[in-house]
């Protein structure tokens, strides 16, 4: 299991820091885990699943727009 730091999550998703935390607050993005002190990270597989879900939702919406 790999833990991603915020910089890695930003790079992997293309989202801004503020957007990531906004989505976390609304339950639309995986919650970070504490790494000790003020450090947090995200489970790579959870972020990957979020990306896959976003792609599936896009494709589902596209099927109605044809």
- Residue 15 belongs to a domain with what CATH number? 1.10.238
Q: What is the domain range of residue 22? A: 3-64
Q: What is the pTM of this model?
A: 0.88
Residue 44 has φ and ψ, to the nearest 5°, of -55, -45
Q: How many domains does the chain have?
A: 1
Residues 66 and 48: their CA atoms lie apart, in Å, by 28
pLDDT attached to residue 61: 76
User: Which tens digits make up the pLDDT trace of 24-66?
Assistant: 999 999 999 999 999 999 999 999 999 999 999 998 876 776 6
pLDDT attached to residue 66: 66
pLDDT attached to residue 7: 98
């Amino acid at each position: 299991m790999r833990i991603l730091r915020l910089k890695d999550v930003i790079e992997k998703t293309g989202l801004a820091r503020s957007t990531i935390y906004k989505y976390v607050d609304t339950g639309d993005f995986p919650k970070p885990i504490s790494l000790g002190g003020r450090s947090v990270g995200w489970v790579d597989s959870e972020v990957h699943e979020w990306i896959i879900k976003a792609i599936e939702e896009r494709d589902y919406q596209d099927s109605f727009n044809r």
